Structure 1
């Protein structure tokens, strides 16, 4: 007797096998991280490779990578597409770059944290973590901090 698994999984089966809540799967789909197809009854169905993609997303989140970065890092392998070996190599190369930048930032934080203990304000004029070399004082006014691209800084 041949008991071949079904080619598509229901949203409940994906949730059970991945440990990700159904509502989270819906959220990920809305954000473009994952994709489903619809059955004739308009029910979500997922290809089996969704489980690997979800594992990658959850590991990245556990490492503190925000969803916006995860979306960018998964871009070479669009949701719903089975990755080729080349796709995986490209994704890994992009992840290595992003993870190294994160590691470098954490090392900088660790090495400069002692100067901020007890400061309370992270130095309005020169904080090696938030305002190195008083970059924020040059050409900026008011309490609104801006990123290089002009967007509001969510940490400010």
Structure 2
């Protein structure tokens, strides 16, 4: 399928049609998620297929997929055409297992949360959510836990 070169979008039009801010388009481009080119007047232009890529990015973000993962997924797609339903099917299958794992993890945390209600202390020694079985105490004094690496 040939790229639809006959219909170019300005940055403002791409932003309006996709429902994101112009600065978001620039950010996505900086991250390599979308591409543009400059016309003879040095104005940024996008192919129409960028609208589907932006839609995929926004849906994936709502699912909690990181921009790095989104970038990897989009890099696996051809750049000379719009994202298709088959492309989306492949991407969503890749993300489904990750989402199922995250859902199960969150349900487990939710079920453990009731143990903290009424206690309020979130004890470092006894809290099953923050420091199960005082695992961090076994590593000695000092900071051992970085948020996001738990």
Above 0.5 in TM-score?
A: yes
Equivalents in 2 of 1:121, 1:81: separation in Å?
A: 56
Q: Give the aligned partner of residue 125 of structure 2.
A: 125
Shift of 1:24: 0.9
Equivalents in 2 of 1:133, 1:81: separation in Å?
A: 54
User: Between Structure 1 and Structure 2, how many residues are aligned?
Assistant: 146
Shift of 1:38: 2.3
Q: Give the aligned partner of residue 143 of structure 1.
A: 143
Q: Contact 1:73/1:95 (CA < 8 Å) preserved in 2?
A: no
Q: Contact 1:108/1:129 (CA < 8 Å) preserved in 2?
A: no
Match of 2:147 among 139, 150, 153: 153
TM-score relative to the length of structure 2: 0.74
Q: How big is the alpha-carbon RMSD for the aligned residues of Structure 1 and Structure 2?
A: 3.1
Equivalents in 1 of 2:80, 2:102: separation in Å?
A: 28
Shift of 1:90: 3.4
Consecutive unaligned residues in structure 2, runs of 5 or more? none
The DSSP-based 3-state class of the residue aligned with 1:95 is helix
Q: Give the aligned partner of residue 92 of structure 2.
A: 92
Consecutive unaligned residues in structure 1, runs of 5 or more? 146-151
Shift of 1:37: 2.1
Structure 1 position 67 matched with structure 2 position 42: no
TM-score relative to the length of structure 1: 0.72
Are the structure 2 counterparts of residues 142 and 48 from structure 1 closer, same or farther at C-alpha, using a change threshold of 3 Å? Answer: same
